[in-house]
Every structure is written in structure tokens, then in C-alpha cells.
Amino acid sequence: PDPIDRIDWPVPAGWEVKTPWHLLDDPRWASLQTKVNEEDPRKSVYSMRDIIENQFRSDCGERQMLIFSIHVTTGTFGVFSVMNQVMTALSAALYMNRTLMFFTSDGHSWQFANSTYCKDSRGRYQPWNCYFEPLTNCDPLRGKGGFGRPTAIWLHRLSDITTGRFSRLKHYTTDAVYSQKVFFGYLGQNPPMEHAHMAHNAPMAGFLFRPVA
């Protein structure tokens, strides 16, 4: 049998979504201040408070979203590869002032987060939540088909995400292919190559990787 079938999947009761203000109990995060580096966004530092407020909203219905997806039917995506991609996507979301969400294209089951088990209290597939606490309290309206498929807009330069057609989209869905040049070239550096990259990544990692209790 497939060894994946023998894993005891973590299934929290209902996945109650709580704003993770407890992260600010750590004095390192409580005292951190946001410092944006316009010349090299990979060296920007976002405070834990600003990250939480970006992801946990009271205006979900009006909020612009960045939906990052993986196309699990066309390739193998390891856990650490996806963690790297989601961290870079969070960096991009903060830069763009959008709330980040993570899904698989068309809701297909990711081999490391079985869709039979990784569901929220409303029965919706949430692969991230099988490992970590939810990224956000927001959720977009999901159509019958095509949800999680990348919006066919290639990103080539930073200005592509702040002006023109892109900036007017309420929900923008992308993946590591369409966004590679901008997200992974200008907005994220993992593994970090300088101390400034480490300072950029650390609070995002502290927010993202909150293990399911």
C-alpha cells in the first residue's frame, strides 16, 4: 500500500480560526517594526503585527486577494518546496497589500495533504491546514470549476503588480510559473544570502509555520 495512506493525518476539530495575537507575546516580535526597502523588497522587514493584520481581516468581502496555488496534476510538489513557495508568496502579498491564500488548482488532492481528511468545518479542502494553523480568516467565493487555476497574466517586472490590469483584479491567482520572475526574483530570497534576507524571512516564517496543535 501507498505509505501516504498510513499517515495519521492531523485533523483538528473544525479548524477554529483564531487571530494569532499570541505571537506578539514573544518580545522579539512585539518590538519589531516594519521597514520597507523600496530598492530591494527582499530586504524589507514586516512587523508581526502588520503580517497578522494583513492576513486576518474584518473586510474580507472587499479585500483584494493573492491566491497562490500548486498544480498537483502536472508535477510533484514536496512539503518543503511548497513551504518555500508560500513564504515567497506571503512576501509578495505584503508588498502588494493583498491577503494571501493557498489552494491547489481545481481543488485536486495534494499527495502530502489528502483531501479526504484535510477539510475545514464546512467540508472544504484546505491542504495548508493539515500541517499549520490557517493562513487567514478570509475565503473567496468558489465556483464549480476552475478555482485555483492561475490567472493568465505573466509577471515580468515589479510594476506589473502595482499598475495596469493586475492592480484592478480583486482576486489574482498565480503559481510558481506565472510569478517566477517577479516573486522569486524580486520579492523573496530563500535560502537567504545576506543578513537582511534573514531579517526579512524570519517574521514571515514565525507567522506561517504555526503547527496544528
Q: What string of pLDDT tens digits covers the 213 residues of the chain? A: 344 443 343 444 345 678 999 999 999 999 999 999 999 999 999 999 999 999 999 998 889 999 998 888 766 688 888 999 999 999 999 999 999 999 888 888 898 888 888 887 777 888 998 889 999 998 766 655 456 677 766 777 888 777 767 777 888 888 887 788 888 888 988 888 899 999 999 999 999 999 886
Three-state DSSP string of 178-189? CCHHHHHHHHCC
Query: If you search the block for the grid coordinates 518580545, which residue do you land on?
Result: 27
How much is the pTM?
Answer: 0.87
Separation CA 97–CA 187 (nearest Å)? 13
- For residues 69-108, one letter each, b for 16 or more C-beta atoms within 10 angstroms of the residue's C-beta and e for the rest, the string is bbbbeeeebeeeebbbbbbbbbbbbbbbebbbbbbbbebb
Check residue 153 and give its pLDDT. Answer: 67
Distance from the first to the final alpha carbon of the chain? 28
Query: If you search the block for the grid coordinates 516580535, which residue do you land on?
Result: 29
Check residue 146 and give its pLDDT. Answer: 52
Query: If you search the block for the grid coordinates 473586510, which residue do you land on?
Result: 59
Separation CA 38–CA 40 (nearest Å)? 6
Separation CA 24–CA 191 (nearest Å)? 25
DSSP state of 130: G
Q: Which set of grid coordinates corresponds to residue 194?
A: 545576506
